């Protein structure tokens, strides 16, 4: 009996040691692991669809109306872990790793917006067919939500855009490709706000490494083709009702960007979340859930309404 307890203690110590080493050397990989584990522990199942450029991985669970949660550039499905449990009580969730992100292929080469959109459509066709859905997107995921609603207006019932959209941002206040620790510190300050807790140096170093080795640099390699997917002068083509849920401390897409979106859309309302940054689903999950669940439980403005915009400060 004592030998078993000693062995168990040794194994636990080894696990703690390995986790400690990973937390120091690869803190972002460890963070991804635990957030994806949280999706499974919430009751979501990891699934895959075979795409033209490799497997497309997604998590699925729950029942009711379908909500598709779309992460941002360089991120993965686990980013939604802080808000999934309350949503699973009433909704059917699909949370993909976008093409070239997370565990979805391809593992190398430039990532184009057209490829992201095609991969998303293929996955939804395989999983849902033409069933109606609600899109919730953060950053790049919000951009894709608008593009999908434009080509599938009858399938997309509503859009919830968190700090992202399909219009140009001429002079973003954040460099998404930092080259050193100080640059990464400035990047994270711009994304999270000046009031956010500073990150340790080894985490900043891992941000630099992961940025240049991951999807963000691959997206930057295809930046020339992005203009064709901007909707600055075509926002009125988006007839789907839109809720803009905006972290007010984001310097990449600040509140003025959200107001431009709101004013250009036929059917939109804006809620600004103080003391939240670019990834509010992780930084301020309770605030996001309060707005998201409240909006989902009320009827959106009618699809043919024009000028139904409003601003809500919370």
Q: What is the pLDDT of residue 24?
A: 52
pLDDT digits (tens, 9 = 90+) for 108-164: 999 999 999 999 999 999 999 999 999 999 999 999 999 999 999 999 999 999 999
Catalogue the E-assigned strands of 151-306: 156-162, 242-247, 268-273
The tokens for 266 are: 């036929």
Q: What is the pTM of this model?
A: 0.91
Using the predicted structure, report yes or no on whether residue 277 has a pLDDT greater than 90. Answer: yes
Helix (H) or strand (E) holding 59: strand 54-61
- Which whole number is the average pLDDT over 2-29? 51
Q: For residues 285 and 180, what is the distance between their CA atoms, to the nearest angstrom?
A: 30
Among the listed ranges 21-25, 179-183, 189-193, 216-220, which one has the minimum average pLDDT value? 21-25
- Which whole number is the average pLDDT over 77-97? 98
Using the predicted structure, report yes or no on whether residue 308 has a pLDDT greater than 70. Answer: no
Using the predicted structure, report yes or no on whether residue 23 has a pLDDT greater than 80. Answer: no
Q: What is the pLDDT of residue 298?
A: 85
Helix (H, G, I), strand (E, B) or coil at 137: strand
What proportion of the chain, given as a percentage, has pLDDT over 90? 82
The tokens for 55 are: 């497997």
Q: What is the pLDDT of residue 151?
A: 96
Nearest to 135 by CA among 60, 216, 71, 45: 71
Q: What is the pLDDT of residue 314?
A: 52
DSSP-assigned letters across all residues of 247-284: ETT-SSS-HHHHHHHHHHSSSEEEEEETT--TTHHHHS
Nearest to 175 by CA among 195, 196, 189, 193: 189
Q: What is the pLDDT of residue 312?
A: 54
Using the predicted structure, report yes or no on whether residue 304 has a pLDDT greater than 70. Answer: no
Among the listed ranges 17-31, 43-57, 142-156, 262-276, which one has the minimum average pLDDT value? 17-31
Do 312 and 258 form a contact (C-beta atoms < 8 A)? no
Using the predicted structure, report yes or no on whether residue 100 has a pLDDT greater than 50. Answer: yes
Q: For residues 27 and 205, what is the distance between their CA atoms, to the nearest angstrom?
A: 10
CATH 3.30.70.20 fits 27-170+230-313, yes or no: no
The tokens for 191 are: 């994304």
Among the listed ranges 31-35, 81-85, 89-93, 171-175, which one has the minimum average pLDDT value? 171-175
**Which sign does the torsion angle of CA 256, 222, 96, 144 carry?**
positive
Using the predicted structure, report yes or no on whether residue 12 has a pLDDT greater than 80. Answer: no
Q: What is the pLDDT of residue 50?
A: 96
pLDDT digits (tens, 9 = 90+) for 28-49: 999 999 999 999 999 999 999 9
């Amino acid at each position: 009996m004592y030998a078993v307890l000693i062995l168990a203690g040794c194994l636990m110590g080894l696990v703690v040691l390995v986790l400690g080493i990973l937390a120091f050397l690869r803190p972002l990989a460890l963070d991804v692991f635990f957030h994806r584990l949280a999706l499974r522990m919430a009751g979501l199942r990891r699934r895959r669809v075979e795409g033209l450029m490799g497997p497309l991985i997604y998590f699925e669970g729950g029942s009711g109306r379908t909500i598709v949660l779309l992460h941002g550039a360089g991120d993965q499905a686990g980013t939604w872990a802080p808000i999934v449990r309350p949503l699973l009580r009433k909704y059917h969730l699909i949370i993909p790793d976008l093409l070239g992100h997370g565990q979805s292929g391809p593992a190398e080469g430039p990532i184009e917006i057209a490829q992201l959109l095609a991969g998303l459509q293929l996955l939804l066709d395989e999983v849902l067919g033409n069933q109606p859905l609600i899109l919730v997107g953060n950053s790049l995921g919000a951009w894709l939500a608008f593009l999908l609603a434009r080509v599938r207006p009858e399938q997309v019932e509503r859009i919830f855009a968190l700090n992202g959209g399909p219009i140009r941002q001429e002079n973003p206040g954040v460099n998404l490709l930092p080259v050193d620790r100080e640059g990464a510190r400035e990047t994270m300050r711009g994304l999270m706000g000046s009031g956010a807790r500073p990150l340790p140096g080894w985490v900043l170093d891992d941000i630099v490494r992961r940025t240049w080795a991951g999807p963000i640099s691959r997206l930057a390699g295809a930046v020339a083709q992005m203009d064709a997917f901007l909707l600055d002068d075509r926002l009125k083509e988006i007839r789907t009702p839109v809720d803009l849920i905006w972290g007010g401390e984001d310097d990449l897409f600040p509140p003025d960007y959200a107001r431009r979106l709101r004013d250009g859309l036929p059917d939109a309302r804006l809620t600004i979340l103080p003391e939240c940054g670019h990834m509010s689903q992780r930084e301020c999950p309770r605030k996001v859930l309060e707005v998201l669940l409240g909006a989902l439980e009320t009827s959106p403005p009618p699809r043919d309404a024009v000028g139904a915009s409003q601003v809500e400060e919370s």
